[in-house]
A and B are shown apart, each in its own frame.
Chain A
Amino acid sequence: MPVARSLRNIGHRVVNAVWRAGFAARFFAMTLLYSGTSFRRFHLVVREMFSSGVMSLIIILVSGMFVGMVLGLQGYETLKRYGSESALGTLVALSLVRELGPVLAALLFASRAGSAMTAEIGLMKATEQISAMEMMAVNPIARVVAPRFWAGVISMPLLSAMFSAMGVFGGYVVGVVLIGVDEGSFWSQMQSAVDFQHDVLNGVIKSFVFGVAVTVIALFEGYDAPPTAEGVSGATTRTVVQSSLAILILDFILTAFMFRGD
């Protein structure tokens, strides 16, 4: 009965996915519940911010620069057709602050820092470091997971702001320095068109939400990984795939709520 078997397979997968989603939600709740230590001993968070945030900085800055340069080129080509090259600054800044900054920075963060988090926690579990911590009466969620979570959540908006800033600079280099768009109108149109609350703040909210999603997925996958080499490597892959999907889906939902009707 191949039909029955494949139906059963599908059912099994769905049930499994629901179970895992439940575990992940519980894990997230525990992380929040045991976050006290992270704030009482903030140096734990700072250390993790260094290893996940600062280490992602280079790739974020370089990518931001290039994305901004591409935007400058493409934007100029398109705007020129309508004779509105002077709006190039607006186009570059809005695309970055609203969309590309938060989304691309989060995607890069997921593959650079998220995968590393999963691998690190998975290995800690495989080598019984997590069990050892539990036996020492130290809650691993409070000591290992929560500081990484907060480090990710704090780093993400900062990284995305830097991505956008680099992007604007890249757009400036291509648009103004290389192509020769008027510098004054590039900056002044940008300044008048970008609204702090509507554009910048919404971008920050987006990257905050992405930061939560990416770190929760990464930490949960690591914590839940089977304690073997294949287990950890599979979990690392799942982190990148799932957090990329989560970022793009969440981005659509958030955009629909934030920017409809204008």
Chain B
Amino acid sequence: MSSQALVEISDVNFAYDSRPILKGINMTFPKGKLIAIMGLSGCGKTTILRHIGGVLRPTRGYVKVDGQVMHELDHDNLYRMRRKMGMLFQFGALFTDMTVYDNVAFQMREHTQLPEEIIHDMVMMKLHAVGLYGTQNLMPAELSGGMARRVALARTIALDPMLIMYDEPFAGLDPISLTVVGQLIRRLNDALGATSIVVTHDVQESLKIVDYIYFVSDGAIIAEGTADDIRASGEAFVHQFVHGEMDGPIPFHYPGGNYKQDLGVRA
């Protein structure tokens, strides 16, 4: 891929306690591109995003964002870097003690000196962009799961970040919202000139919008390529994942011993 990389992940290893989660991840995210990270539940996708945000530090390797190694930044520089990033959390993570309006306005108030009238207009524009104009006075508890995620999306893009990370933006959305959010992610990426990383299980939706895809399994990259590469891929794993087949190299079950024996079934 092109040399103008905004994010570069190089040989990143990471373990929780002594359980290895990431095993030598290498990824490149060129400026202006929309890239998906796919993989089964628990394979370490969120963990990768946390490394890019500088929340976790790798046990080996490094993550470079905009030329800077994340785990070497001090507090102030790390925060300066994070101002340029937006992250949509898997479960929204809206501030439950604030209205929708205040949630979206949060970063504008924290990081800018803008007068309240301008903040008002900006909030309304962001809410309109996610199709939720009119909900500004609701509390997060009064939103459905899908609405909460869209408010969180509006909050994520509040300050037009240069790097936007989406953790499962499609989970729990109805088919219409799903297409809308998919298109929105694509349009935001192109309109803001941002770089976007989408973590998702939703192969069909993401194949429509992304430029490049990484497949992660068990903490390592096992396939990568453009949407067309992936669709045409003959690799058994990718084929199974894209077509959602039961049988294939990916076991559905956790490696948990002999189930039949546990139930007392004699072979």
**Which of B6-14, B77-85, B188-196, B259-267 contacts its partner?**
B77-85
Is there contact, CB below 8 Å, between B106 and A136?
yes
**Are A132 and B87 also in contact (CB < 8 A) when A127-B93, A143-B110 are?**
yes
Among B55, B90, B97, the residue within 8 A (CB) of A134 is: B55
A138 to B82, CA, bound (A): 9
Is there contact, CB below 8 Å, between B111 and A137?
yes
Is there contact, CB below 8 Å, between B82 and A132?
no
Q: How large is the interface on A (under 10, 10 to 19, 20 to 34, 35 or more residues)?
A: 10 to 19
**A172-224 residues at the B interface, CB under 8 angstroms:** none
Is there contact, CB below 8 Å, between B110 and A138?
yes
A129 to B89, CA, bound (A): 9
Is there contact, CB below 8 Å, between B85 and A135?
yes
Is there contact, CB below 8 Å, between B91 and A127?
yes
Is there contact, CB below 8 Å, between B53 and A135?
yes
A128 within 8 A of B: yes
Q: Which residues of B contact A136 (CB under 8 A)?
A: 82-83, 106-107, 110
A16 within 8 A of B: no
Q: Which residues of B contact A9 (CB under 8 A)?
A: none
B95 within 8 A of A: yes
A131 to B90, CA, bound (A): 12
Residue of A134, A137, A143 with most partner-chain B CB within 10 A: A137
Chain A residue at minimal CB-CB distance from B78 = A137
A132 to B89, CA, bound (A): 7
Shortest distance between the CB of B171 and any CB in chain A (Å) = 14
Is there contact, CB below 8 Å, between B93 and A137?
no
**Are A131 and B89 also in contact (CB < 8 A) when A136-B110, A137-B111, A138-B110 are?**
yes
A139 within 8 A of B: yes
Binary contact readout B86-114 vs A (1 if CB under 8 angstroms, 0 otherwise)? 01011101111100000000110011000
Is there contact, CB below 8 Å, between B55 and A137?
no
A136 to B79, CA, bound (A): 8
Q: Which residues of B contact A139 (CB under 8 A)?
A: 79
Among A120, A128, A143, the residue within 8 A (CB) of B89 is: A128
**A150-185 residues at the B interface, CB under 8 angstroms:** none
**B105-141 residues at the A interface, CB under 8 angstroms:** 106-107, 110-111
**A99-128 residues at the B interface, CB under 8 angstroms:** 120, 123-124, 127-128
A120 to B96, CA, bound (A): 10
Shortest distance between the CB of B240 and any CB in chain A (Å) = 31
Is there contact, CB below 8 Å, between A127 and B55?
no
A164 to B80, CA, bound (A): 49
Shortest distance between the CB of A192 and any CB in chain B (Å) = 49
12 additional A-B pairs beyond A135-B82, A139-B79, beta carbons within 8 Å, are A124-B95, A127-B93, A129-B94, A129-B95, A131-B55, A132-B87, A132-B89, A133-B95, A135-B85, A137-B79, A137-B83, A138-B111
The 5 closest A-B pairs by CB, nearest first: A132-B93, A137-B82, A128-B93, A137-B79, A137-B83
**What are 17 A-B pairs with beta-carbon distances under 8 A?**
A120-B97, A124-B95, A124-B96, A127-B91, A128-B89, A128-B91, A128-B93, A129-B93, A129-B96, A132-B89, A135-B53, A135-B55, A135-B87, A136-B82, A136-B110, A137-B111, A138-B107
